[in-house]
Amino acid sequence: MPVITLTINDELVSARSGQSLLEAIRDHGIDLPTLCHLDGLSARGGCRLCLVEVAGSPRLLPACTTEAVEGMVVTTHNERIDRYRRMILELTFAERNHTCAVCVSNGHCELQALAAELGMDRVRYDYLNPDLGLDTSHRLFGVDHNRCLLCLRCVRVCDEVEGAHTWDVAGRGIASRVITDLNRPWGQSESCTECGKCVEVCPTGALFDKGASVGEMEKESRFLRRILDGREKRQWRR
């Protein structure tokens, strides 16, 4: 396998040709924050938290959708990047109604944890307070659009792993919403297999098991690697 060499944070690093910058950076033991990325799903470049500086580019680039190239000079953390990452989180919090204290995922939420980790101590933008709905028509699961950050892990896992493509996106820009089938209530979906993968990969409390109360919704996204290893490499393990 062809090996390339690039510079990450002033250090010469080897990577495999065709790897994304995110993979190369994480293989090197450097932690990059991500929300839309999930090992096993296609890269999307949606949440923008993995932005890095690449020498020669005036703008920051998302590491997940940028290919690692021979001779690249990459910076993963500095004052400017940290500032942008906090701004992205603040905008995410301002866009919908992420009231952690009364959320099913309180204490087990990737967005909540990242805000604390990256030092977002307040949101400097005006909260938009959108009037968003909740769909609990499904027998087993619910979707709360107030908590959704449009990472689209649900859309990708349903399409790419389960093969059902129940989830999709309606609307554009700030009006975007995840929908089931052709915007029918989830409970009336004919394509949903009730597998629950979308719920387990959702980073916030947007998708949840019905009956879960505040703080009770713990997700487990590592199942994805297990079933993909079984499918692709014939490696079966618990």
Applying CB under 8 A, does 32 fall inside the site for another protein?
no
Applying CB under 8 A, does 175 fall inside the site for another protein?
no
- Comparing CA positions, the residue from 168, 217, 166, 162 lying closest to residue 192 is 166
What is the spatial distance between Cα 179 and Cα 87, in angstroms, rounded to a whole number? 27
When binding is defined by CB under 8 A, the residue of 97, 136, 137, 176 that contacts another protein is: 97
- Comparing CA positions, the residue from 199, 179, 201 lying closest to residue 188 is 179
Applying CB under 8 A, does 119 fall inside the site for another protein?
yes
When binding is defined by CB under 8 A, the residue of 130, 133, 163, 211 that contacts another protein is: 130
Query: Quick one: tokens of 142?
Result: 């619910």
37-45, 115-123, 133-141, 155-163 -> range binding another protein (CB under 8 A): 115-123
CB of 164 vs another protein, minimal distance in Å: 32
Applying CB under 8 A, does 190 fall inside the site for another protein?
no
When binding is defined by CB under 8 A, the residue of 112, 180, 189, 204 that contacts another protein is: 112
Applying CB under 8 A, does 83 fall inside the site for another protein?
no
State the greatest distance between any 2 C-alpha atoms of the chain, in Å, as a whole number.
Answer: 54
12-20, 40-48, 97-105, 193-201 -> range binding another protein (CB under 8 A): 97-105
CB atoms within 10 A of CB 171: 11
Applying CB under 8 A, does 87 fall inside the site for another protein?
no
- Nearest-Å Rg of the Cα atoms of the chain is 19
Q: Whats the size of the chain, residue-wise?
A: 238
Applying CB under 8 A, does 213 fall inside the site for another protein?
no
What is the pairing mode between strands 11-16 and 73-75?
unpaired
Given a contact cutoff of 8 angstroms between Cβ atoms, the answer to whether 23 and 6 are in contact is no
Applying CB under 8 A, does 131 fall inside the site for another protein?
yes
Q: Please tell me whether residue 141 adopts helix, strand or coil conformation.
A: strand
Given a contact cutoff of 8 angstroms between Cβ atoms, the answer to whether 21 and 63 are in contact is yes
CB of 117 vs another protein, minimal distance in Å: 5
Q: Please give the residue ranges that form the binding site for another protein (CB under 8 A).
A: 93, 97, 99-103, 106-107, 109, 112-113, 115-117, 119, 121-124, 126-127, 129-131, 215
